[in-house]
Amino acid sequence: MSNNTKKNAYERFVFISKFVSLSFSCVVLLIYFSFILVIGFRPEILSIFIDNTSVTYGVAIGLSIIIFSILLTFVFTIIANNYLDKLRREIK
């Protein structure tokens, strides 16, 4: 593999890894800070109980954000293992 091809592969690797990680981070931060803003400015919305249970919407949404973040980490790991590792091997 020539140096020019390696350079292109390296640039593609850096671009894709930064793009995916920053995109996922921005999505999680947007959701998290939106939740925090609702807690700060409209807490009565999140204090409503779901049907006749002792669980509020705030607890359910908070747990959903945590689960979503874990799933996004899982998706990033799949992308890194299946695609980015191939690009990394091309560079070597």
Q: Which domain holds residue 86?
A: 3-91
Q: How confident is the model at residue 3 (pLDDT cuts 50, 70, 90)?
A: confident
The mean pLDDT of the chain is 93
Q: Is there a contact between 91 and 10 (Cβ–Cβ < 8 Å)?
A: yes
* Model confidence pLDDT, tens digit, residues 27-64: 999 999 999 999 999 999 999 999 999 999 999 999 99
pLDDT at residue 45, as a whole number: 94
Percent of the chain predicted with pLDDT > 90: 75
Looking at the structure of the chain, the number of domains it has is 1
Locate tokens 């091809």: which residue?
A: 5
pTM summary value: 0.83
Distance CA 16, CA 9 (A): 11
Model confidence at 1: pLDDT above 70: no
